[in-house]
Every structure is written in structure tokens, then in C-alpha cells.
Amino acid sequence: MALSLTQLQNVVKHIVDSEPFLHTPEELYAPIEYSLRLGGKRLRPTMLLAACQLFGGDIEAAHPAALAVEVFHNYTLVHDDLMDGSSLRRGKPTVFHRWNENTALLSGDAMLIMAFKYLSAPAVCRLLRMFSQMAIDVVRGQQYDMNFERRLDVSVDEYLDMIYLKTAVLFCGALRMGATLADAPAADIELLMQYGRNLGLAFQLQDDVLDTYGDENTFGKKTGQDISDNKKTMLLITALADANSDQRAALHKLLASPKSDAKVEAVRAIYDCIGVRSKVEKLIGDYLRQADAALAAIHATYEAKAPLRDLLQKLVGRHS
């Protein structure tokens, strides 16, 4: 009998909780253990197992690949928090904030290497090329994100390409790896990738909204960080495109100003006047519908698709 989404998430929790991350020197490994014990939704390894199960694969044989994906994802978070200067992650101090910048760099590097180590298990070593391309694409996306901080002319297409690399690629990669381990048909893997791409884009756009409008206790980190850092989110790109001349001039002035709570409030007020939030939420809905259509087209039973369908519904229900 197929495992539900909750059961698959519990499998992932067991995989991560059973792995001994704390070794010597403790200064290197304690931040790694801390990061991986913080929990979180663990969507990506769950997606990998769900994709493997969808096509009748051996879920237990996919455990090392799921662990590799989870460790890699947390490596990106450790480094992202350092580059963004974020103090909270999942409601707790970030690694660099609790320790220091050098520790975040070195422990993050170790996590990246560990992810490749898990992929050396005999059952999953054939995924190394796939995982490597996914990993470099995520890093490319992070570089584009940093490049965009210095620009005011980022287009919608450029932004969508960036968040595809930074976020959706890891969704697609996890799903593709799971399906590949189950020897799924190429046509169904392509549909699964379309599901992952659209789900990943919707997920990142939702994060854009939550960063500006979310409740900090629910969101797990300080809101308004994207505005403070002049991140070119879909909210800002839409605002700059739809603003009148006075609003656009005010936005440009605010982008040139230093970080402050007043800056965040002022930019949010302009967003509210333009109606940016509803426009981005409509786009999120479009991507979720496309993800649902791709999932529906996969040649598998309705019951077998339940975990991935439930995952999509959970994203629909994410709120501020």
C-alpha cells in the first residue's frame, strides 16, 4: 500500500534523525547537526521518495538520495543566510548568527561534500551527473539573485529564470531522481519535471509574498528582509512596471535609502496602493494549476499520485 504524504515525511524525518552528523572537530560539525535538526518541511526529499513510490520503486533504496537532497538544500540555506545577513531561520538563530561567518562558510562547504558522499551509495551513484547539474544550477541562481540587487531593470522573464534555477531546479531534481530510481518512462519523467517546475515557481513567488506580508511567528524569520536588501522580487518588479511616475520615483528613492523599518513600511504601502499582492497571488494560482495539470497527465493511478497532489494542496494553503 502506498504511503501518504505525512507518512513519507515521517520516513524522511527518520532518515535525517538517524544519521549521526556530529563528528570531530565539533566546531565544524556542530553547526551542521544544528542546521539539520531544525526540522522544516523537508519537501524536497519527500518529493524524491514520492516520485520513486509513484512508479513502484524501492523507497528504502532511495533513502541515501533523499538524504543527499536534504543535506544539499540545508547547505544552500546556511550560505544564503550568510549572504543575506539573515538572523533567523525556522524561528531559530541562523548558523552564521549563532556562530560566525567563517563557521557558516566552512560548515556549509562540508555539507555540500557530504551530500555527494551520500550519492556514492551503490543504489544511487548513477544519479551523480544529474545531482551535479542540479547543484551548479542552484548556485547559478543564487549568483543571478545577487546580481539583480544592483539592477533596477530586471525583467519578469529574467526573474522567473532566476527563481527557476534557485528554487524550482531542486524541486525538479528531487522528483527526477526519485522517478529515475524507479525506472519511470521518459514521458512521465518529463511531466513530473513540469509539475516540479510550476510548483517550484509558485513556492518561490509565495515566499516573496510571505516575506513582505507574512506573520513572523508563522514564517519563521523576520519579514521585510527582501525590501531591506533591495531584492528584485516579483512584488518589486510588478510595482516598478505598474507604478505611476510619482510612485516609481518614490520607489527609486526608497531603494537608494539604507535599511530601516520605515523603508519596509513605505515600500509596502506603495505595494498596497498598486495592488501588487493580488497580482502576484494570481500568478501563483496560475502556476499551481499548471502543476496540477501536469500531475494529472502522468500515467499512474489517482491513489499513487496522492502524496504529490497533497503536497500541491499544502502549498495552496500556505498563508501569512
pLDDT mean over 182-205: 97
**Using one digit for the tens of pLDDT, what is the confidence trace for 44-74?**
999 999 999 999 999 999 999 999 999 999 9
CATH for the stretch 5-308: 1.10.600.10
Question: pTM for the full model?
Answer: 0.92
Percent of the chain scored above 90 by pLDDT?
86
Question: Residue 173: what pLDDT?
Answer: 97
Question: Residue 102: what pLDDT?
Answer: 96
Cell 528613492: give the residue. Answer: 253
Q: Is the Cβ–Cβ distance between 86 and 221 less than 8 Å?
A: yes
Whether residue 187 has pLDDT greater than 80: yes
**Using one digit for the tens of pLDDT, what is the confidence trace for 245-254?**
999 999 999 9
Question: Residue 186: what pLDDT?
Answer: 97
Structural domain spans, the chain: 5-308
3-state secondary structure the chain: CCCCHHHHHHHHHHHHHHCCCCCCCHHHHHHHHHHHCCCCCCHHHHHHHHHHHHCCCCCHHHHHHHHHHHHHHHHHHHHHHHHHCCCEECCEECHHHHCCHHHHHHHHHHHHHHHHHHCCCCCCHHHHHHHHHHHHHHHHHHHHHHHHCCCCCCCHHHHHHHHHHHHHHHHHHHHHHHHHHCCCCHHHHHHHHHHHHHHHHHHHHHHHHHHHHCCHHHHCCCCCHHHHCCCCCHHHHHHHHHCCHHHHHHHHHHHCCCCCHHHHHHHHHHHHHHCHHHHHHHHHHHHHHHHHHHHHHCCCCCCCCHHHHHHHHHHHCCCC
Question: Residue 318: what pLDDT?
Answer: 67
**Using one digit for the tens of pLDDT, what is the confidence trace for 262-286?**
999 999 999 999 999 999 999 999 9
pLDDT mean over 303-311: 95
**Using one digit for the tens of pLDDT, what is the confidence trace for 285-304?**
999 999 999 999 999 999 99
**Using one digit for the tens of pLDDT, what is the confidence trace for 98-132?**
999 999 999 999 999 999 999 988 889 999 999 99
**Using one digit for the tens of pLDDT, what is the confidence trace for 212-227?**
998 777 766 778 899 9
Give the whole-angstrom CA distance, residue 30 versus residue 12: 21
Q: How far is CA 124 from CA 210, 254, 298, in A?
A: 36, 49, 24
Mean pLDDT value across the chain:
94
Question: Residue 320: what pLDDT?
Answer: 43
CA proximity to 194, closest of 286, 285, 287, 294? 294
Is the bond preceding residue 25 a cis peptide, omega within 30 degrees? yes
CA proximity to 224, closest of 146, 320, 139, 96? 320
